[in-house]
Structure 1
């Protein structure tokens, strides 16, 4: 991971005030001394409380120049910002309307989403499912194993319309089960006698022969060539497949029994055996034919160079089932190539020196900018899954603004936290104007602004804001200006 804590950064706090337009600041540290951005204060307009849609200016230094202030894409589903231009096309959609490809819908936001098929709905715009912040609104939803968005029109569709060695993307995703810890085994009967919980819900717990901990039933699916179909299960955390093979599984409530196979199926759902966890959240490509650099975000490490060489947190870190989770991906294929992904603030995976050496020695020379080729869920196996996605962010640089509930970047990256990507309206080295995106942040508690420069480095201490009187400066530190 980048040296996020290698700098001493001046930090200011902003508190609620009755003054309609204020600038609160602390002395700046020269950006010539410190490579990381310095954030010192905020200018508010008529309203000085944090709420979505409000515009404010963040003051500081070391932000760097940004060729386009706005991100390439910030898609809130019903409202989409494409290169800084508002697009409300999907706000006209009926509930559960299909996101179509550009050949059938020339106004589509996503030029190549998945299409409905036997076990998948395609990506739909839902207005009736519970939203991420609990307020009325829309987000994307798909049920089945192949439901994804791809190739946003904002970046040129299947012909990326910019060149850049950098890419940053973030998105919120919700899954009913743990994509990194589930198995499919041939069912004992058709239909199964194990108790399932219905679509997108866990079923009964089951005992595993020889083990004290219990697993949970996910679903029964009649797929493939076997006459009894397949039972999808989630073993207890930390239990390996070696501890499952040949063991008898017994339902706690139903008393149903099935034996975990002793060998894997080599023909997907068409051959007796077990199937191990697999699934993909996202792909980032530079062109649709798969040449150039390709990165896949999955429950396995796919480095994009043909090498499995990661420092990762797989196994101990995964999207929490039934909750909204934030993925961030930062890629640089330039002079100092690196890849880092974060999940809910924590490092999910990070490239090491061996990856950089493999990348540098590879034949990859495509300079086209990376874009979102796939976002959602994609694999043959997660048939009982669904996927919900919202607030999708894409830019051709690592420069960004985040509002988080952690006071320093080290605690965010090591312990996790809740962050929301802000929408920059203008960007210069010493000031950034943003339109606030509060998402599901708790505004009753302190929140902190972070500015990331082109190297993906941020201020180490967040600029603190409180919507109550609990945040206050030491009097000697206040420099209040009223205009």
Structure 2
């Protein structure tokens, strides 16, 4: 039962894992002893790779609950053909608007939010991707995968304790550094993209939004006490304004900092009032649960660099009472909670929101892609290092068959360079991976060529 709380022959391939939960004594650590690669001049996108070894564990369903590359979406291993027909500019609708939607709860236009749309005319994450999700503004998201929760999004199986979620996200501006100010004694007109200087602090002018507020992004985290009353000057325009002395809040004038901007919301029940309710924001994580009014707060964060793709990973196990977060293959936080916070007998944790849910970023732009959701930590990933702790790039792979000794998956190299050596890792249900990545390449797996020696 569930408990609650908060294409190149010399290419080398590897799978990696980003999270490690303590293994139970009865569970073997995965070991890879061999790989089988199709006889092809290139390791191409979609090639079927076979991994053999031991300790992979059994898996009720090889495929994840949802694998959404936007170009295609697989729900429990089945291609959603209607989703695959979406094209540039099509909006992501909920199941009341579109019964074939893979998302029961994407953002609408309520409260100033933006509809998420499919885009094919923006820069893609990698060469084999032609479409991804995009929205402009401070609030847009997908959520409530039908593949797990049905048409409502919350009709999930009962008491599945594990949830693994990963996706790629590119904010145009770092959510942690995004501010808005009302102009005060402004002289001149600022130029979009120019640097702003104030009290030795540097920022970039984004633009003026529909409420007349100046939108800017700082180079580094700042404290409002170092900004209040300071002259703000544009490096190109020489325009000036004064940073307001007061926080705007619900008032009519002042400044607004980044606030709390959610990347991910996890819930068991639809209202988030009975079972697990967890939010991962740019500034912290909050967690509430069954039979308590208390909200646990974990003040761990990492500033995302703007205009760059980031690999986001989240894992929760309500039986063990732990969640973990990684960004760009590196651990960000691990947090323990009381397993009794999970509600037993009715639901399982699911993705209620994935995207960006805030208030400040009126001129923000968000691209996201390759969403992978499963109720098991078991997975295959490729990485740029045979030592997972040293990996700086990982890519989740799509498994098509799974046993304790053999796994087949479809290759996705993402944006790894062709000459990049990559290695394979397999995770068991405890989240443990083989200790050293296994190289996957045609030339390194073939037996050495016979050497003819001639002695005179």
Give the TM-score range, shorter chain.
0.7 to 0.9
Structure 1 residue 55: Cα displacement:
1.0
Match of 2:316 in 1: 331
1:34-183 aligned at under 5 Å gives the runs 35-47=28-40, 49-116=42-109, 119-135=112-128, 137-157=130-150, 158-163=153-158, 164-183=160-179
TM-score by length of structure 1 reads 0.80
Structure 1 residue 175: Cα displacement:
0.8
1:444 counterpart = 2:444: no
Structure 1 residue 458: Cα displacement:
0.8
1:15-414 aligned at under 5 Å gives the runs 35-47=28-40, 49-116=42-109, 119-135=112-128, 137-157=130-150, 158-163=153-158, 164-188=160-184, 193-196=189-192, 203-209=193-199, 211=200, 213-223=201-211, 229-267=212-250, 270-278=251-259, 279-290=261-272, 291-305=274-288, 306-309=295-298, 312=300, 314=301, 317-334=302-319, 336-351=320-335, 355-356=336-337, 359-360=338-339, 362=341, 364-365=343-344, 368-412=347-391
The separation in 1 between residues aligned to 2:27 and 2:156, in whole angstroms, is 34
The separation in 2 between residues aligned to 1:369 and 1:363, in whole angstroms, is 9
Secondary structure of 1:180's counterpart equals: helix
- Indicate conservation of the 8 Å contact 2:244/2:255, yes or no: yes
The separation in 2 between residues aligned to 1:280 and 1:320, in whole angstroms, is 16
1:457 counterpart = 2:432: yes
The separation in 1 between residues aligned to 2:164 and 2:25, in whole angstroms, is 25
Residues 128-157 of structure 1, C-alpha deviations (whole Å, 9 max, x = no match)? 222111346111111111211111111124
Structure 1 residue 447: Cα displacement:
0.3
The separation in 1 between residues aligned to 2:314 and 2:147, in whole angstroms, is 18
The separation in 1 between residues aligned to 2:128 and 2:398, in whole angstroms, is 20
Structure 1 residue 214: Cα displacement:
2.0
The separation in 2 between residues aligned to 1:250 and 1:281, in whole angstroms, is 32
The separation in 1 between residues aligned to 2:167 and 2:126, in whole angstroms, is 14
The separation in 1 between residues aligned to 2:305 and 2:79, in whole angstroms, is 32
Instruction: State the number of aligned residues.
Output: 417
- Indicate conservation of the 8 Å contact 2:176/2:221, yes or no: no
TM-score by length of structure 2 reads 0.85
Structure 1 residue 346: Cα displacement:
0.9
The separation in 1 between residues aligned to 2:128 and 2:56, in whole angstroms, is 33
- Indicate conservation of the 8 Å contact 1:145/1:380, yes or no: yes
CA RMSD for the aligned pairs?
2.6
The separation in 2 between residues aligned to 1:272 and 1:287, in whole angstroms, is 38
Secondary structure of 1:410's counterpart equals: helix
Structure 1 residue 82: Cα displacement:
0.5
Structure 1 residue 398: Cα displacement:
0.7
Structure with more contact order per residue of length (Cα contacts < 8 Å, sep ≥ 6) = 2
The separation in 1 between residues aligned to 2:41 and 2:323, in whole angstroms, is 37
Secondary structure of 1:214's counterpart equals: strand
The separation in 2 between residues aligned to 1:386 and 1:318, in whole angstroms, is 16
The separation in 2 between residues aligned to 1:106 and 1:175, in whole angstroms, is 30
C-alpha distance 159-169 of structure 1, shift in aligned 2 (>3 A): same
Structure 1 residue 177: Cα displacement:
0.1
The separation in 2 between residues aligned to 1:367 and 1:326, in whole angstroms, is 32
Uncovered stretches (5+) of structure 2, i.e. residues with no partner: 1-7, 11-23, 289-294, 449-456
Structure 1 residue 117: Cα displacement:
5.3
The separation in 2 between residues aligned to 1:341 and 1:243, in whole angstroms, is 31
